[in-house]
Amino acid sequence: MVESVVLWRRLVGAQIRSQLQYRASFVLDLAGSFLISFVDFLAVLVIFHNVPRLGEWSVEEVAFLYALSSISFAITDLAIGHLDQFPQKIRDGNFDILLVRPRGSLYQVIASDFQLRRLGKAAQGLLVLGYALAALHVDWDPGRVAMLVVMIPAGVVLFSSVWVIGACLSFWTTDGGEFTNAFTYGGAFMAQSPIDIYGTWLRRFLCYIVPLGFVCYFPALYILDKRDPLGLPRFLEFSSPFVALLAAFVAGTIWRGAVRHYRSAGG
């Protein structure tokens, strides 16, 4: 286990070194992705230009939610964004090579790339978070601080699980890759708004089936001391780490099953 982390760190180190080599181009890329990710936040600002509250949420509260989901998503994108190219990898036959190596295939796929420039979006999220925390009056206690610290890794694990499950589709269909965009990018889009504004069935979907509601919404309710206006039980506010672990487990299982299918149905 430790070894896998060490190996991943080596890969990340190697990629960072190689990407920093073209310093000018890298800085431009980073600045570009930083600026561009503000566009999403601009949308939030435009909304609040027109109304004082979105549902039960004020602009600072939505900014808070937005920032946290943005940071979680950015970190996920940083680590496994290359999964978008996975359908092509399968089509080219480059997945088979991984099966000839003495390591798990999912681990190798994740460790095959790392794009430092995606940090730009995380930086933008941090800035918005700074603004939100300054503007909000949160009654900080150890519990709330702990929640804030935990929710980002939990969010990363949740987003990653959805992304990995999406990538598994490529083992069954050659063109299925695009379906997962609905969940990965759609997921990011969903998570940045309070889910209480979505209709009932969509909220249930986001809580129980594709649990992206847990990325930020529930932890945010706890930190901001709000109640879910449609009355979902309070214990959900603490459940995000557990949901994250469960999601990771499900993702791993589905991956293993998908690879098994791939290995018997034909590479």
Which parts of this chain interact with another protein (CB under 8 A)?
3, 6-7, 10-11, 14-15, 17-19, 28-29, 32-33, 36, 39-40, 42-43, 46-47, 49-51, 54-55, 92-94, 96-97, 99-103, 108, 112-113, 173-179, 181-182, 185-186, 189-190, 193, 197-199, 202, 263-267
Q: How far is the CB of 52 from another protein (least distance, A)?
A: 8
Q: In the complex with another protein, which residue's Cβ is closer, 71 or 203? A: 203
Q: In the complex with another protein, which residue's Cβ is closer, 147 or 194? A: 194
Q: How far is the CB of 193 from another protein (least distance, A)?
A: 5
Q: How far is the CB of 126 from another protein (least distance, A)?
A: 20
Q: In the complex with another protein, which residue's Cβ is closer, 145 or 202? A: 202
* Residue 237 dihedral angles phi and psi, to the nearest 5°: -65, -25
Q: In the complex with another protein, which residue's Cβ is closer, 26 or 238? A: 26
Distances (CA, A) of 223 to 34, 66, 125, 140, 241: 27, 14, 18, 8, 15
